[in-house]
């Protein structure tokens, strides 16, 4: 079994993360991996924001702007402010939509999603861990504005990144027979 297969087969997302966050040279490798994402027409339809330290509190303030006292399902301000401190680093994945005649927006989002998965794998291969989160916040225009996204950009996720505190309990993984079939049979 190759290293990459073994790593994929043994990986899992980790919600409990602590310092240290990856340093510059680990991140350099991580983002070189992100740049290997399949990319129709080579539009490079992605970019990433790295947020740590005080930036996490600033992001928490941006999250807090989505609080809505009139909406009983909305999260309260204090919870929104504190969410960004669940890890020592957050990488925000952003897809951009170029209006290319042969590349619909979904393909640009998929390319950015591949980049997120490569980032996660590259972090895990270097001893770090992460958890990809979205929630309604990721699609809230208040957040897009607070992070300075252009009108043709959208958030694909917040990757909470750090050193795993402890391994989460193993998740049952479906057997390929459950989701793969031959066509036409």
What is the bridge-based pairing of β-strands 153-164 and 129-133?
Answer: antiparallel
Residue 100, CA distances (Å) to 34, 40, 47, 93 in order: 21, 10, 18, 21
Least Cβ distance, residue 148 to ligand FMN (angstroms): 21
Binding marks (x or -) toward ligand FMN, 107..146, rule CB under 6 A?
A: ------------------------xxxxx-----------
For residues 42 and 10, what is the distance between their CA atoms, to the nearest angstrom? 31
Q: Which of 7, 13, 126, 163 binds ligand FMN (CB under 6 A)?
A: 13
Residue 89, CA distances (Å) to 8, 160, 179 in order: 22, 6, 34
- Closer residue to ligand FMN in complex, CB, 12/126: 12
Interaction with ligand FMN in 52-91: which residues (CB under 6 A)? Answer: none
Least Cβ distance, residue 38 to ligand FMN (angstroms): 16
CA angle, 23 as apex, 17 and 156 as ends, to 5°? 60
* Contact residues for ligand FMN, defined by CB under 6 A: 12-13, 131-135, 157, 171
């Amino acid at each position: 079994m190759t290293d990459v297969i073994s790593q994929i087969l043994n990986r899992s997302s980790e919600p409990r993360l602590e310092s240290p966050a990856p340093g510059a040279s680990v991140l350099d490798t991580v983002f070189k991996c992100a740049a290997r994402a399949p990319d129709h027409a080579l539009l490079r339809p992605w970019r990433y924001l790295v947020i740590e330290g005080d930036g996490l509190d600033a992001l928490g303030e941006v999250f807090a702007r989505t609080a809505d006292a009139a909406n009983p399902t909305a999260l309260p301000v204090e919870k929104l402010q504190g969410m960004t401190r669940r890890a020592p680093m957050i990488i925000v994945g952003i897809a951009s939509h170029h209006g290319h005649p042969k590349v619909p927006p979904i393909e640009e989002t998929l390319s950015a999603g591949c980049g997120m998965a490569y980032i996660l794998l590259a972090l895990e291969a270097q001893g770090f861990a992460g958890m990809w989160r979205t929630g309604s916040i990721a699609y809230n225009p208040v957040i897009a504005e607070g992070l300075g996204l252009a009108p043709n950009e959208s958030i694909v996720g917040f990757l909470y990144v750090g050193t795993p505190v402890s391994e989460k309990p193993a998740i049952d993984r479906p057997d390929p027979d459950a989701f793969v079939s031959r066509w036409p049979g």
